[in-house]
Structures are given as structure tokens and as C-alpha cells.
Chain A
Amino acid sequence: MTSKTKQSFRWKDFINAFGPLFGLLLVVGLFSLSADLRPVFFTGGNAKMILTQTAIVATGALGMTLVIVSGGIDLSAGSVVALSSVVAATLLIQEVPPAGVILLTILAGGFIGAINGTIVAGFRMVPFIVTLGMMGIARGVAKWLANNQTVNPSENPLNRIMEPVQPLNFWPLPIGVWITIILAVLMTFVMRYAVFGRHLFAIGSNEDTARLCGVRVRSTKIMIYTIAGFFFGLAGLLQYSRLTQGDPTVAIGLELEIIAAVVIGGASLNGGSGSIMGTMLGALIMGVLKSGSSQMNWPTYMQEIIIGIVIILAVGLDKWRQSKQQTR
């Protein structure tokens, strides 16, 4: 690899991260305009709360970034989160030790992902349709497993993962937030330096070319959806810990929030571009918007409208960026 191509990679990363970063500063700035909100918004407790509330979307978005960069989509994310939260709660009731519960819950997510990947890659079906079907299947299985109820295990260590101990101070951060941060750092390296990461971009940019270049597209795709599934399973575990119950009706529409985070973070739904850092910033932008507008006493529907506008703006920005790159 020549130094020139290396340089251009950096440049791309830079633009990709700059938009979302600017967005995040903008929303933080927006809420700092209100003199009433400033003293409460800029506190350690509030920063911690936003991070905690964002952790579930962010964890899911780590997996979704892989899928979207490879040119796919996974609509089953929300349902898989609900299903794995039920799996975790059910296992806890069966008195499986916590470490086993963590492992099996994440594996359950990965299992669904592997099915998605196998169908998408093996039968060359459109991911939108396959995962739309899986969205219904996983939701149904969650309700079946939970017997149409919420599953309430007794007090256990997993309830602690998302617990905001000392809610008014920044430290200590909940373990769930640390897990998300560590995984984000890890995935940044995987995306940038690992062979698997480079193959992702290759498949997303042009699948046929990737195949001709010797990328094993089919097995890589199965792996992508499976890993994404692991992340959704982990998000489900965090969701369980947040509610301290398995709830088969939780996270309806979460997949759209996750996709929004990835897209706001600068990924293109056509595949081939996107970054973990951008995605994390995208998730944070939505988290800050949600908590800020709630604390501004804006009605809930205002948040929905604003986040909608932000998504369209982000994609518009992405379009503009692409046209700039082409003219260069």
C-alpha cells in the first residue's frame, strides 16, 4: 500500500467523522443556549444519564454498521433485542449462573443473525425482505417464550449492568457503558485494519468486484450478520438490565433508531462507507436530542419531529459530500 492511498483513507475518515462531530457540537450548543437548562444540562450526572440511555442503541448500532457498510440492512434488530432480553430473563429464572446467561443471550442473538446471513448469502435474497420476515419471527418467538407476559427474575448481578449508581455524579459509569465504549474501540480497529474489515468495504462498494478479487463473499456475509446478531444479543442483555425484566414488547422500532444512528454517522445505505466513530456520534446526537428536549419540557412529539429532521439533514449532507468527492 502506497502512502498516497493511506493518505486518502485518512481523508475519507476525516470527512466521515467531521459531519457527525459537528452535529453533536451543534445539538449540545443548542441546549446550552437556554439559561434555564444550562446548570442542569452540563452536569456529570446528566452526561452519565445520556451515555446510559444511549448504550443500547449504540451497541446495536455497532452491529448495524457492519451490515450497512457491507451494503445490507437488518430490520430484525429491535425484535432480536426483545427476544434476547426475554432469553436472559428466562435463563435467570432457571437459575443459570450469570456468566452462562451472558454467553447464551449473546449466542441467541448470534444464532438469529446466522440464520439471516445464511438466507441472505446462500439464497441471494434481498436483506430487507429476509430481515423484515425475521423481525416478525423473532418478535413472535419472544412473546411465545415469555408466554405473552413480562418475565421477572428475582434480584441478581445482571440487574447491576445498567444501574446508574449515584445518579447525580458522572463516576462510576455503569458497566454497560464501559462495555459499549470498549467494543466501539475494538470495532474501530477491526474495521480499519483487519482483513474482515477491509472485505466489508469491498463487498459494500462492489460485490462482484470483491468476488473477482478473491473475497469469499458468501461466508463473509454470513459472518457479518452473525456478528451483528451478537451485538443485538448484547444490546438485549443491556435492555434486560435496564428494565430488570424480560419484556417481549420492548424495543419496537428500535431497529429504525439504530439505523438512524448509523446513517446520521455518515454511512451510506448503498454500502461501502461508514465508520464506527461516526455511528457512535450519531447515536450520541440522538441521545442528547432526546434528553435535552425532554428537559426543555418540549412535548415528546417535538423530539420525534426533530430527530426526523436530523435524519433527513444527515442523509442530505451525505449526498452533498458524495457529489463533492465525485467532482474532485
Chain B
Amino acid sequence: MQSRWHLLWLSLCACLISACGPSSSNIEDDTVKIAVIPKGTTHEFWRSIHAGAKKAEQELNEAGKQVEIIWKGPLKEDDRDQQIQLVENFTTRRVNGIVLAPLDAQALVRPVENAQQSGIPVVVIDSGLQSESYVSFVATDNLKGGEMAGHFMAEQLGGKGKVILLRYAVGSASTENREKGFLKALESHPEIELISSDQYAGPTRETAYQASQNLLQRFGQEVQGIFCVNENSTIGMTKALREIGRAGGAVKMIGFDAGSQSIKDMESGDVQGLVVQDPVRMGYEGVKTLMAQLDGQAVEKRLDTGVVMITPSNLNEAESQRLLNPPIEDYLGE
């Protein structure tokens, strides 16, 4: 008995030792592997980023470089631990580079620094990081986007009215900047009164919908304008507004980002404005910037990918349509 027991442990130890020993020579092909890690995978926004990354991959391959994009993200947008694990996994896997949309400006600092120290360059996209230890930051100027929403709100309300700001989540730098920008813009319109700005939509459409219902339960009859800072909260709030019969322009609804549902809501008149980013470009520039770094070219530390205000009047223009309906299928092959 005893000896069999020992034998087992010996075999386990042998396994561990072989696992920890020097790795056999890495016979990899020359393909440059780039991991692209979004905040989540369920938003259409991330599919656009994926499409942009794929677009860059295709272009680079046509230019004679062998590049492979590995797309992998946490299932939920507030699972910091899972995203840290992904960055660590790709670091030990020794991909050639990582493009990351950090879930949290603080929690992802160390994994990114570790990757950089291990010789794996990281390009940060979409949302900021409280560190300078990355190759480049490729993102929308979210503060500008928030300000744009604030001024548009004032214009819609004729400079006077009661508004609600539904925040997204604490620690997400991109949405916090939108919130900040919106509040900053409102400062120049003193007759606009902010009746609520301390509620959070949370990570999923369901949590956003619940938060919206709760807010409208309290302020539904007096509110005249609402700004939501991401796709899910815009959709959730619009749904909640419809339920209490104040959609369709009674409450000016301004959102951020555009999924197919928000566009439908705008067409039916329930949404008055959508601040739209260019996620395809973000994914595309993220990969291109990383490639440039790997090729030893100089890269910009900050790259703005632009925002546009979409309204029912410019909804059908070609530029708007390019942003709203990016040719995702062409790149993702779905």
C-alpha cells in the first residue's frame, strides 16, 4: 500500500519537474501572433473592434506579412480577474504582442507591466490605464464625446430643463470621461438642472434596464432629458422610457455608441442623438500600431479615433452609415 502511494507521488513530482524544466526549443513558424483582448464579447461594439482587427490582419497578410489575430475576452464586462488571467495566459504563451481594452484602469496595470517586462508589447485601446507602461493608447477622445452630448442636450432642450445622467460603472476610464465631459458641458448651461447623476447602469443590458426602471420610477414624470454613456444603458433606458409612455421625444434621449437596437430606436423617434465612435478604426489602428512597433517603427503614444453625433437628420448620410453599419460580416466571415 505504502509503496504504491509513494509511487504515485513520485510520478506526480516527475510530471511537475518536467513541467518546470527548461522548455524545449520553441519550434514556431514565423507567424506573428497578436492577442486582441476586449472588455467583453457580447456588445456589438466589440464585434466592430474585432472586425477592425481582422481588417488589419487581412491587409498585413496581403502586404506579405504573416499575422494571426487571436480574439479572446471575458464573458462579463466586470470580470476583472478573468481579464487579468487572459493577459497572463497570453504573456506566458508568448504571443508577439497584445492589444488590450482594459476593464479597469488600476487592476490591469500590473499584468500589462509584466507583459511589457517580458518583452511583449501592449497597445491599449478604448479605455485608459493608470500607467505609462504601454506602447500606445488608441481610443476615442471620450471627454470630447461627453461634451458633445452635453451641448447637444442643451440645444434639444432649448437651454432649460431637468436632466438625468446614468453612469456606467466605477473604474472604467472611458465612460467616466464621457460622464465628466457631459457634466462639464452642462456647466455652461446654468438653466439645466441635473436631478440625478449617482446611479450606475452596471455591466449587462439587464442591470442597465433595472437601474433605468428604478430611476424612472422616481423621476419619470419630471425628467426632460437623459444621457446614457454606453450601448446597453442606452437600450435599457429607452426600453424603460417606452414602458412609462414617455419615449418618442417627450424625454430627449441621448446615448453613446450604436448597436442595431439603438438605431431602430432612433428611427422610431425614441432616441434623439447618439454619440458614435469608430470601433472598427480602433481595432484596426490598435493592430497596425502594434505591428509598427514590432517592426521597429516609431509610434504615437496617443491616437484619437474620433467621435460623431448621429441624429435623425444625418442618420442616412454615407458617413453615418459607415459608422453605424460597419461591414463586420466582410471581415468576420459570418
Contacts and interface: CB of A to CB of B under 8 A. Distances in A.
Interface of A: 7, 10-11, 14, 17-18, 21, 24-25, 28, 38-40, 42-47, 49, 52-53, 148-150, 152, 159, 163-164, 167-168, 170, 239, 242-245, 247, 249-251, 290-291, 294-295, 297, 299-301
Interface stretch (B85-93, B257-265, B274-282, B299-307): B85-93
Nearest to B169: A249
A294 B81 contact: no
Given A39-B23, A164-B114, A250 B80 contact: yes
B86 A47 contact: no
B250 interface: no
Contacts of A251: 81
Contact of A291 (B80, B85, B118): B85
B72 interface: yes
Interface in B65-112: 70, 72-75, 78, 80-82, 84-86, 88-89, 91-94, 104, 106-107, 109-110
Given A167-B115, A300-B74, 9 more contacts: A25-B11, A25-B12, A43-B23, A148-B170, A150-B107, A167-B88, A243-B104, A244-B107, A295-B92
Contact of A25 (B15, B104, B114, B171): B15
B16 A152 contact: no
B5 A14 contact: yes
Interface of B: 1-2, 4-5, 8, 11-12, 15-16, 18-28, 41, 70, 72-75, 78, 80-82, 84-86, 88-89, 91-94, 104, 106-107, 109-110, 114-115, 117-118, 170-171, 200
A297 B170 contact: no
Contacts of B1: 7, 10-11, 14
Nearest to B105: A152
A164 B111 CA distance: 9
Nearest to A37: B93
Contacts of B81: 239, 242-243, 250-251
A21 B72 CA distance: 30
A245 B27 CA distance: 39
Contacts, number: 127
Contacts of A168: 91-92, 94, 118
A18 B4 CA distance: 11
A47 B16 contact: yes
Contacts of A25: 11-12, 15
Nearest to A287: B85
B85 A300 contact: no
A245 B72 contact: no
7 contacts: A11-B1, A28-B19, A46-B92, A49-B92, A150-B106, A243-B107, A295-B89
A12 to B, nearest CB: 11
A150 to B, nearest CB: 5
Nearest to A165: B114
Contacts of B114: 164, 167
Contact of B89 (A42, A170, A250, A291): A291
Nearest to B74: A300
For the complex, would chain A's binding face be called helix, strand, loop or mixed by DSSP majority? Answer: helix
Given A10-B1, A14-B5, A39-B27, A167 B118 contact: yes
Given A25-B12, A46-B92, A290-B85, A39 B26 contact: yes
Given A28-B15, A46-B92, A167-B118, A300 B72 contact: yes
Nearest to A241: B110
B53 to A, nearest CB: 15
Contacts of A18: 8
Nearest to A301: B75
Residue with the highest number of chain A CB atoms closer than 10 Å, among B18, B41, B72:
B72
Contacts of A10: 1-2, 5
A53 B171 contact: no
Per CB-CB distance, the 4 closest pairs between chain A and chain B, nearest first, are: A149-B170, A243-B107, A43-B23, A44-B20
B230 to A, nearest CB: 17
A70 to B, nearest CB: 26
Given A44-B20, A47-B16, A300-B74, A244 B109 contact: yes
A40 B94 contact: yes
B12 A21 contact: yes
Contact of A247 (B74, B82, B107, B117): B107
Contacts of B89: 49, 291, 294-295
Contacts of A42: 18-19, 21, 23-24
A18 B20 CA distance: 23
A10 B5 CA distance: 10
Given A149-B171, A167-B118, A294 B86 contact: yes
B18 to A, nearest CB: 7
Nearest to A304: B75
A285 B27 CA distance: 28
A14 B5 CA distance: 7
Contacts of B20: 43-44, 47, 170
Contacts of B200: 148
Most buried by A among B22, B118, B200: B118
A170 B92 CA distance: 11
Contacts of B171: 149-150, 245
A242 B84 contact: yes
Given A25-B12, A148-B170, A294-B85, A39 B24 contact: yes
Contact of B70 (A245, A291, A297): A297
B106 A152 contact: yes
Contacts of B118: 167-168
Contacts of A159: 110
